[in-house]
Structure 1
Amino acid sequence: MSREWTQLVSAVCLFLYLSEFGPWIALAISGDTGDILLSKNCHQGARPAMILPLYRSDPDSSVSAVNPHRKLQRSVESRRRSNARMRLYDDLLLHGYYTTRLWIGTPPQRFALIVDTGSTVTYVPCSTCEHCGRHQDPKFQPDLSSTYQPVKCSSSCNCDDNRMQCVYERQYAEMSTSSGVLGEDVIAFGNQSELTPQRAVFGCENAETGDLYSQHADGIIGLGRGDLSIVDQLVEKNVIGDSFSLCYGGMDVGGGAMVLGGISPPSDMVFAYSDPGRSPYYNIDLKEMRVAGKRLPLKPSVFDGKHGTILDSGTTYAYLPEAAFHAFKDAVKKELHSLKQINGPDPNYHDICFSGAGNSVSELSKSFPVVDMVFGNGAKLSLSPENYLFRHSKVRGAYCLGIFQNGKDPSTLLGGIFVRNILVTYDREHTKVGFWKTNCSELWERLHISGAPPPMPPNSEGTNMTEASEPPVAAPSISPQDSHTGGLQIARVTFVIIFNISYSDMKPHITELAELIAHELYVNTSQVQLMNFTSIGNGSLSSWAIIPGASADYISNTTAMSIIARLTNHHVQLPSTFGSYKLVDWKAEVPPERSWWQQYYMVLGLAAMLTLLLGLLSFATFLIWKSRQQTLHSYKPVDEAVPEQELQPL
């Protein structure tokens, strides 16, 4: 390209930026990488241009074509950008994925989207969809959004000739597919976000197949690298730093947190180099694995095949190349001295499972070894058993390996199970990924970030559990009533809340409300029970109970106080779908004390049952002895061995 042509293109770019056509700025597309470059790089006129509607931001964040130091200035400013703090929902065992909530359009329409670092497009089912399953929320209706705009066809996108609109199509490894058109609208990130709603391009889905059709979640939020990624779009707008973080809950808790934008990393965060040119995915330079401190007999190159070692938050489990998988499996089995290998929960899969470890996640490290991941810079990340195990769904106290062989693919794929209770920071600006072991359900407190949500932008967010004008209420202390246990035993915590939404409008969403309450109170959904639900005036009244978990008889004093504190201090936050609501009553119920005659008759009952069982056992023993006597004939030699028969259950 001649120097004169380059100067002409630069002049045109500057004119477009400064003129009334400023909102329509040429975006240069790299033919080699597909990267979008803002108008500050418009002088590289060799690349074809895709025209997309851009909206002028404040002068301080605009891209200046006449400031040669703008790139450095932008890097400094990016550290002061807002970020979008967002909650994560669901879990790996029951759902296989984690979701977050996005609000799209004006007025906002809510969606539950799978968090996926292996995808670029963010998409939701559209009202025009001809083959979409039944999902958590209603389909997106572009006609009801006053701010929706279709992305018109251009030379840089695949085009639907009938609609003259850009289209997308994606196919996933499990052979599910999604296709639709591209649109642009205002997207909001929830009431914990400092980031105000932003315009962004997303997919309006017209067809889906496979797991995407049958899943409960509405769609996918794409966090991968690419011009359509929600991260790339926000970074290009210069409203967040070039980074994001995910924190998946543990084996029993679920949920978690997500941050779009930069955070201050903890001092003991472990970093690994991530080469953006290595593959289109987020990778780390894994060099070796150790089980119980012993290095697996593998060459470092085994973790560098094809795409290398990839982090994929949208994949449930982890997958190793054949040699690495067998070495890992054998090394783990050698360390399990007191456990018994059993069949997996699904006969269609050859899961490697072990029983006898007990039901408490905190005790797993007594039975299963620690696994270390060593990176190219020598840094080491130690993984707990919950980072490579999942619960056996049919045998209590049994666990299965959540790491499998990756078929014939030499890539290493690390899914959500690998990062349970680990804050993972994808620092794209500095080409590294950070890992910090923590309790993801308490992430904000552990990062010393205030839990109070910022002011909510109009028509975009949820509401608090009480009216904004009502001051916080301190949770009263509860005195222990069971001295021999050293603490209070709570049978259940009950509470009553009033919504300003009518009974008929609330009823279809009561199951979803239970899930949200469970997440906000840091308990399992199975612990949340609806006791009463009725109409009151123009609103509705519901009473709830939090009961002990499946493996417990009581709620601990600490857990009960945490639940009550979150309720009374209004830390429970629900989406705007449920309107405004107010806590009107709560109670921590202790088990009723038994009178002396109840205890007396209970002892008598247990004695009677024990006597009956002993009688049945004696009778069964007599029958077995009689049967064996009939089997042993008198003419057999006395010294002949008689094979023992296994005693069958009575």
Structure 2
Amino acid sequence: MSSLLFCFFFFFFVGNNLITVNSSPVKNDQRPLILPLHLSSPDSTVHRQADDRRRHLQQSKRPEKPNAHMRLYDDLLSNGYYTTRLFIGTPPQQFALIVDTGSTVTYVPCSNCQRCGNHQDPRFQPEMSSTYQSLKCNPDCTCDSDRKLCIYDRRYAEMSSSSGVLGEDIVSFGNESELVPQRAVFGCENVETGDLYTQRADGIIGLGRGQISIVDQLVDKGVISNSFSLCYGGMDVGGGAMVLGAITPPPDMVFSSSDPNRSPYYNIELKEIHVAGTPLKLNPKIFDERHGTVLDSGTTYAYLPRQAFAAFKDAIIKAIPSLKRIHGPDPNYEDICFSGAGRDVIELSKKFPEVDMVFSNGQKILLSPENYLFRHIKVSGAYCLGIFENADPSTLLGGIVVRNTLVTYDREDGKIGFWKTNCSELSRRLQVPSAPAPSPLVTRSGHTNVETSPTLSPDVLPSNVLPGEFQIRFITFDMSISMNNSDVRPNFTELVAFIAHELEIHDSQVHLLNLSSKGSNYFVKWGIFPADSANGISNTTALNIILHLREHHMQFPEKFGSYQLLRWNVEPQNKQQTWWRQHIVAVAFGIVFTVLLTVSIIGVWSFWRKRQEEFKSYKPVGAVVPEQELQPLES
């Protein structure tokens, strides 16, 4: 990317507002770094059931004592978390780490781990990095039994844990990052249990407050300012963005104070919750117990104290008398679910009430239905409450609450800001600098949500597609698949659904065009076609598909083995054909007008000829009205 893009006056538009990088003097290495965002692939055998990722805040034994836009992979749809790529070591080894504001340590599984699961990437090999150093025991860390090395131990409320040694090495965010690689302390796992053992992600990147938080370390080194922002995509959409460093907030961003001395967690001063405009009848102090109201990006859902949850649940049920109460997707949980709402997320605001979170300063943020619901995986058009009762008196707000919300953690000024926007479009904006900006989301039901489609940038298109094409006819790509078990044939029906999910399109748009095999290797040609009601693939959809294919961001579940993308091609819509379809009404009108004009001329001629016959004894020479030709269509 050009240095101009990363200049210190860098800006990007979000809707009608301008978000700018903090314009205070910064070092060269504080220039913003922009990384494209993509949907991370979950294991297709793992459904987004209520028991999959109900992760709570960690219970730490003790707190560890310019700008960067990060790549975020969205697993919230199925695995309940977002991940970002982190590179560690020399040469660099890459890892997919959960973005977690509730953790203060970053850790990955080590090659000598005694009990670590099979994750997305190979384990970190300290012996293969020329820059790795173990952190020796010192008064500022917890030491092992031999008092030789610093160790860490993290335990989470859902009974998962991670423990290991602390080390130091070069970390970076990939070749697309202009952030100079830095030495940083991180955890090298020796043991992991529970969800941490079974999850697809490799580990966690800790964004909490603490000496070895990745944010604190980069701030202490002076490479970023003391702030960061997260933006999670909406229901069924995914995508997102993370910005390390300060931004100038939009004028209508809503803020709440956040007390850094209360705990290492990011808390806000929640005072009231309104459902359909009516406040819940609760003592405001209920949201201030223990840790208070905490934001935790590593938690999927939200959890309210018992009394607050009961009031919230009752208010929602009262507001939707037309919807039928049904059982949840998992018999192990008594989920609050409703059928009859339809599959269109945009229409949910017509069925479910709006919810407002009101802060102690009187400002409030809107929660649309996608901020407190998740899809019922077994019943079409059904949804369940993604807000649950918390056994702990604290209030915990996970990723679901901040879908399509830019959240700024302003650590410098002790406040957290919220601004409703289209986070998926923001992610595309960061992917392609030439793309138009995203628009704000609907903030109240009845308003029109105008979204801007990005323009296909020349650097992501093949040579046969010109920038500015209106639509794409179809996209094809060739793939080789190597199965782990030669006796097992891939389930291509399931694979179609998986690819559709990865590319964020409907299953009916994915077609298997050709298939051949040799042993356990399969060679497949796939085609991506427009939806049934569309004449072509829109720029927005085509851009998303192209970026996934070009950057090899489809990652197969383990049972499908591995794949290699051999080639891909985009077939542009024929311009003349596109012109014809766009102007078919005008052309039809022209034809009708021509026919009517011709009939009129013939009628006038016939009338004139008849009159001539009445006054003359001879018949006029027959005249042929020339057929009018349509002018050639301009290409």
Matched, 1:366 2:315: no
Pairing 1:20-35 to 2, within 5 Å after superposition: none
Do the aligned partners of residues 75 and 229 (structure 1) sit closer, same or farther apart at CA in structure 2, a change above 3 Å counting? farther
| Paired position in structure 2 for 1:417 | 400
Counterpart of 1:560 (choices 533, 538, 544) is 538
Deviations 1:518-558 (A, max 9, x none): 799554799767766899xxxx987443367xxxx637457
Answer yes or no: is the 8 Å Cα contact 1:316–1:416 preserved in 2. yes
Matched, 1:154 2:173: no
Match of 1:147, SS state, is coil
| Paired position in structure 2 for 1:164 | 148
Pairing 1:366-445 to 2, within 5 Å after superposition: 366-407=350-391, 409-444=392-427
Post-superposition offset of 1:267: 2.4
Counterpart of 2:527 (choices 542, 545, 564) is 545
Post-superposition offset of 1:265: 1.9
Answer yes or no: is the 8 Å Cα contact 1:467–1:580 preserved in 2. no
| Paired position in structure 2 for 1:474 | 466
Structure-2 separation of matches of 1:527 and 1:173: 41
Pairing 1:456-605 to 2, within 5 Å after superposition: 473-475=465-467, 477=469, 493-496=474-477, 522-523=504-505, 543-546=525-528, 554=532, 556=534, 559-565=537-543, 572-574=550-552, 585-587=569-571
Structure-1 separation of matches of 2:251 and 2:175: 28
Pairing 1:331-342 to 2, within 5 Å after superposition: 331-342=315-326
One-letter amino acid of the counterpart of residue 405, structure 2: I
Bigger relative contact order (CA 8 A; separation at least 6)? 2
| Paired position in structure 1 for 2:210 | 226
Do the aligned partners of residues 204 and 533 (structure 1) sit closer, same or farther apart at CA in structure 2, a change above 3 Å counting? farther
Answer yes or no: is the 8 Å Cα contact 1:472–1:568 preserved in 2. no
One-letter amino acid of the counterpart of residue 308, structure 2: A
Structure-2 separation of matches of 1:396 and 1:154: 57
Do the aligned partners of residues 514 and 395 (structure 1) sit closer, same or farther apart at CA in structure 2, a change above 3 Å counting? closer
Counterpart of 2:341 (choices 357, 375, 390) is 357
Do the aligned partners of residues 337 and 581 (structure 1) sit closer, same or farther apart at CA in structure 2, a change above 3 Å counting? closer
Deviations 1:135-182 (A, max 9, x none): 111111111112211112222222235592211111111111111111
| Paired position in structure 2 for 1:276 | 260
Answer yes or no: is the 8 Å Cα contact 2:172–2:180 preserved in 1. yes
Matched, 1:101 2:50: no
Structure-1 separation of matches of 2:420 and 2:165: 40
Do the aligned partners of residues 255 and 518 (structure 1) sit closer, same or farther apart at CA in structure 2, a change above 3 Å counting? farther
Match of 1:298, SS state, is coil
Structure-2 separation of matches of 1:250 and 1:476: 27
Pairing 1:248-287 to 2, within 5 Å after superposition: 248-287=232-271
Deviations 1:266-304 (A, max 9, x none): 222211111111222001111111111111112221111
Match of 1:231, SS state, is helix
| Paired position in structure 2 for 1:68 | none
Answer yes or no: is the 8 Å Cα contact 1:131–1:207 preserved in 2. yes
Answer yes or no: is the 8 Å Cα contact 1:116–1:314 preserved in 2. yes
Post-superposition offset of 1:583: 5.8
Match of 2:189, SS state, is strand
Q: Which runs of 5+ in 1 are unaligned?
A: 1-72, 453-464, 480-487, 591-650
One-letter amino acid of the counterpart of residue 237, structure 2: V
Deviations 1:608-634 (A, max 9, x none): xxxxxxxxxxxxxxxxxxxxxxxxxxx
One-letter amino acid of the counterpart of residue 562, structure 1: T
Matched, 1:77 2:26: yes
Structure-2 separation of matches of 1:338 and 1:468: 47
Answer yes or no: is the 8 Å Cα contact 2:536–2:573 preserved in 1. no
TM, length-normalised to structure 2: 0.67
Structure-2 separation of matches of 1:224 and 1:274: 13
Matched, 1:112 2:104: no
One-letter amino acid of the counterpart of residue 410, structure 1: P
Match of 1:252, SS state, is coil
Post-superposition offset of 1:496: 2.8
Answer yes or no: is the 8 Å Cα contact 2:475–2:568 preserved in 1. no
Do the aligned partners of residues 211 and 447 (structure 1) sit closer, same or farther apart at CA in structure 2, a change above 3 Å counting? closer
Structure-1 separation of matches of 2:327 and 2:216: 45
Do the aligned partners of residues 233 and 497 (structure 1) sit closer, same or farther apart at CA in structure 2, a change above 3 Å counting? farther
Deviations 1:361-389 (A, max 9, x none): 01000000000111122111111100000
Matched, 1:206 2:190: yes
Deviations 1:310-362 (A, max 9, x none): 00011111011112111111111111031111111111111111111011101
More moved, 306-315 vs 566-575: 566-575
Answer yes or no: is the 8 Å Cα contact 2:482–2:563 preserved in 1. no
Answer yes or no: is the 8 Å Cα contact 2:328–2:384 preserved in 1. yes
Structure-2 separation of matches of 1:559 and 1:469: 14
Answer yes or no: is the 8 Å Cα contact 1:78–1:241 preserved in 2. no
| Paired position in structure 2 for 1:143 | 127
Deviations 1:484-523 (A, max 9, x none): xxxx9x7xx3323699xx9899x9xx99x99998799554
Match of 2:334, SS state, is coil
| Paired position in structure 2 for 1:173 | 157
Do the aligned partners of residues 449 and 428 (structure 1) sit closer, same or farther apart at CA in structure 2, a change above 3 Å counting? farther
Deviations 1:98-123 (A, max 9, x none): 11111111221111111111001110
One-letter amino acid of the counterpart of residue 85, structure 2: R
Post-superposition offset of 1:133: 0.8
Structure-2 separation of matches of 1:126 and 1:525: 38
Structure-2 separation of matches of 1:167 and 1:419: 33
Q: Cα RMSD over matched residues?
A: 4.1
One-letter amino acid of the counterpart of residue 99, structure 1: T
Deviations 1:453-512 (A, max 9, x none): xxxxxxxxxxxx999999895257467xxxxxxxx9x7xx3323699xx9899x9xx99x
Answer yes or no: is the 8 Å Cα contact 1:266–1:447 preserved in 2. no
Post-superposition offset of 1:575: 7.4
Match of 1:442, SS state, is helix
One-letter amino acid of the counterpart of residue 77, structure 1: V
Structure-2 separation of matches of 1:115 and 1:514: 29
Match of 2:312, SS state, is helix
Deviations 1:206-265 (A, max 9, x none): 111111111111111111010111111000001011111111111101231212222232
Match of 2:151, SS state, is strand
Q: Which runs of 5+ in 2 are unaligned?
A: 1-21, 33-66, 436-456, 556-561, 575-635
Answer yes or no: is the 8 Å Cα contact 2:239–2:427 preserved in 1. no
Structure-2 separation of matches of 1:496 and 1:424: 37
Identity across matched positions, percent: 62
The alignment of Structure 1 onto Structure 2 pairs a total of residues equal to 483
Post-superposition offset of 1:424: 0.9
